[in-house]
Amino acid sequence: MTPWFDPTQVFIGGRWQPCAGGTTLPLENPSTGEEIGRIARGDHRDIDAAVQAAEAALQGEWGALTAAERGRLLLHLGQLVSEHFDALAEMEATDVGKPLQQAKNDVIALARYCEFYGGAADKVMGETIPFQNGFTVYTLREPHGVTGHIVPWNYPMQIIGRSIGAALAMGNACVLKPAEEACLTALAFADLARQAGFPPGALNVVPGLGDEAGAALTAHPGVRHLSFTGSVGTGRKVQAAAAENLVPVTLELGGKSPQLVFKDADVDKALPFLVNAGIQNAGQTCSASSRILVQRDRMDEVTERMAEAYRALRVGPAMADLNVGPLISARQKDIVESYLSLADPSEVIARGEVLDNAPKGGHYVAPTLISGLDPDHRLAQEEIFGPVQVLLPFEDEEDAVRIANGTAYGLVASVWSSDGGRQMRLAKRLRAGQVFLNNYGAAGGVELPFGGVGHSGHGREKGFEALYGFSALKTVAAHHG
Ligand code: TXE
């Protein structure tokens, strides 16, 4: 897998160039532990140059485009993403360690985000407001200006699609700082934007370390909006930096999302969702479902069926395209294993299998299903970010709501039940930004607003809602009396 661009460079003002410090960072293949290349170690000087290039774009060609012209560029970019389908899928699978089919799904999602936001660019409208005689009042949705985007390593393409796609559609100029662990597709996306004809400076990409390039971006006074996906701890720092410059910030910080299985649920239908939502991308998914709450009457049945599914899970290198790939890094593997050490062996119900021939340097952890814990146990409260799910029994609806809402997070929840009244009651009572009834995740849901409450963050991405977030509302009151 050799990228068609030079990943040791930064992309600023429409040009590939060496970073200011001239140094690079290693990029590791999580399936083998081997170095697969180097990326630029961008720092505050590159971020400053990128913000200046973005400001120049807003004053120049990019800022002069109509909404329809911006939309057309995004549609073209989506086409180029699709034309590079195999290369992007292989790049993401190798860089992130995700099974090839899951990486292919991410390419499809990225192309779809470009298509959705390309089509939406010229359909965001203001309002006219009835007011006093002699006035005409209307609202305009304007770009913030330069927007800063910090994305993590777990779904680079999807997160770039939803964040950069919406920001560009609204006419912002973007500076993107991808994660140091996985950023090849972010760089590929920059080059495809260049090929699509985006004017210089509309999109700038500066890889580097979080506390260097990332912190410089969040602190830069030229940045008018920040969008961050990552950990709660870093989210706090990003929000504090945004407070310093008084700019709006969107935070998407993960979760401990529950699926609630009631005694009247269609368990045949639920089963693949119960398991996949926990092990997809090796559990390194912000909206992973790491808690499975089951009404006591059906606890034995669901436990046994999930255990059977777990015993069939196979773990190996990304390109072998099994159920589960490696974790992103040795550090992430250590975190997950230290969580697993908190469980008593008697509480481990079933585990998947790491293939014997999986490369020894890869960061593999067998998926693990746990039961018998108190809902307050750390394994049932904290985001593990690995292929680990906890089964928790509940007695009735009240008990289910109490347990489901009993963590600091609130990203996603789902209800499996054939009782329509219960579905509606719980959709209201569950503390989450998205509630799924008899499904989980809605296959990615590019069109569906997404984001959390509590420690899961605030602000909404995806769907039309993101377009409102990436614009500032201006009210115009004209007096003609
Ligand atoms: O996250 P960080 P890490 C959670 C998950 C995981 C834990 C740690 O629980 O185990 O976070 O992962 C950039 N200023 N999630 O350490 O540090 C960094 O370079 C500005 C959930 O990878 O939050 C990267 O680009 N930026 C999550 C991005 O922040 C900074 C996805 C994410 O890194 C920075 C990932 C700073 N001071 C992890 N420090 C989800 N919601 O899906 C780091 N960064």
pLDDT tens per residue across span 157-193: 999 999 999 999 999 999 999 999 999 999 999 999 9
Give the model's confidence band at 2: pLDDT under 50 very low, under 70 low, under 90 confident, else very high. confident
Summarize the confidence of residues 360-366 as an average pLDDT: 98
d(CA 160, CA 176) in angstroms, rounded, equals 9
On the question of pLDDT at 224 being above 80, the answer is yes
Asked whether 457 lines ligand 1 (CB < 6 A), one says no
Write down the pLDDT at residue 241.
98
The secondary structure element, H or E, covering residue 24 is strand 24-29
d(CA 446, CA 122) in angstroms, rounded, equals 18
Mutating to test ligand 1, I would choose from 150, 285, 411 the residue with most ligand atoms within 8 A of its C-beta, which is 150
Distance 328 CA to ligand 1 centre (A): 12
Written as six digits, the tokens of 479 are 């007096």
Asked whether 212 lines ligand 1 (CB < 6 A), one says no
Distance 201 CA to ligand 1 centre (A): 26
Using DSSP's 3-state secondary structure scheme, residue 54 falls into helix
CA 393 to chain centre: 30
Neighbours of 254 (CB within 10 A): 26
Cα–Cα nearest to 318, from 182, 186, 207: 182
- Digit-coded pLDDT (tens) for 74-107: 999 999 999 999 999 999 999 999 999 999 999 9
Give the model's confidence band at 444: pLDDT under 50 very low, under 70 low, under 90 confident, else very high. confident
Nearest CA to ligand 1 atom 30: 210
Summarize the confidence of residues 371-375 as an average pLDDT: 98
Nearest atom, ligand 1, residue 215 CA: 14
Phi, psi of 38 (to 5 degrees): -130, 150
Asked whether 214 lines ligand 1 (CB < 6 A), one says yes
Write down the pLDDT at residue 314.
98
Nearest CA to ligand 1 atom 42: 286
- Digit-coded pLDDT (tens) for 25-34: 999 999 999 9
Mean pLDDT, the chain, whole residue set: 98
- pTM of the complete model: 0.97
Asked whether 232 lines ligand 1 (CB < 6 A), one says no
Using DSSP's 3-state secondary structure scheme, residue 59 falls into helix
Distance 197 CA to ligand 1 centre (A): 31
CB 201 within 8 A of CB 56: yes
Using DSSP's 3-state secondary structure scheme, residue 269 falls into helix
Work out whether strand 24-29 and strand 34-40 pair parallel, antiparallel, or are unpaired: antiparallel
Phi, psi of 176 (to 5 degrees): -110, 130
On the question of pLDDT at 1 being above 80, the answer is no
Neighbours of 32 (CB within 10 A): 19
CA distances 468 to 145, 171, 222, 388, 405, Å, are: 14, 12, 21, 36, 28
Distance 40 CA to ligand 1 centre (A): 18
Report which of residues 309 and 444 the model is more confident about.
309
Nearest CA to ligand 1 atom 20: 214
Distance 210 CA to ligand 1 centre (A): 8
Tell me which residues are annotated as active site: 252, 286
d(CA 386, CA 369) in angstroms, rounded, equals 11
d(CA 226, CA 242) in angstroms, rounded, equals 7
Written as six digits, the tokens of 354 are 């790491």
